[in-house]
Amino acid sequence: MGTKRILVVDDEQPIRHVAEQAITGHGWEADTAANSAEALQLIRDNLYDAIVVDFSLPDMDGVALHSEIRRMDNELAEHTLFISGLDQSNRQLRYYTDAGGFLPKPFDIDELIGRLRDMLNE
């Protein structure tokens, strides 16, 4: 199969940049979006193998975005890794785990790549 393509959705440009550099440095392709509207448009226009989503976005929270992704592409929804700097409740953490996983910010680059590799069965 070809190169994996991953979408990173985060309103913080430094986080998008670091994640994009780590993903492309691993040999995968990466696109980025600063908000949910951009992410949904990219998902409509492209095929992704996984998505990294910040819980706190300016136009829609990560759970609402994930619901939209599930409606559009159930397999991609199963390959969603949430990231957040917020303290998460046990209920939210269970949701993230069921969706594909959760990484707290600041995250370790090796852990990000490892979680994506697991998700993509590489």
> What pLDDT, in 10s, does the model give residues 78-104?
999 988 776 655 455 555 555 667 787
Per-residue pLDDT band at 115 (split at 50, 70, 90): very high
Query: Which among 40, 21, 37 has a CA at the least distance from the CA of 29?
Result: 21
Question: Tokens representing 97?
Answer: 């785990």
Q: Distance of alpha carbon 26 from its chain centroid, rounded? A: 16
Q: What pLDDT, in 10s, does the model give residues 11-58?
A: 999 999 999 999 999 999 999 999 999 999 999 999 999 999 998 889
Q: What pLDDT was estimated at residue 89?
A: 53
State which H helix or E strand residue 12 sits in: none
Q: Would you say the pTM of this structure is higher than 0.95?
A: no
CATH number of 5-117: 3.40.50.2300
Which residue bears the tokens 């397999």?
Answer: 75
Per-residue pLDDT band at 105 (split at 50, 70, 90): confident
Establish whether the linkage from the previous residue to 58 is cis, with ω within 30° of 0.
no
Residue 78 CA to residue 97 CA, distance in Å, equals 10
Residue 56 CA to residue 76 CA, distance in Å, equals 19
The structural domains of the chain, with segments of one domain joined by +, span 5-117
Residue 58 CA to residue 26 CA, distance in Å, equals 29
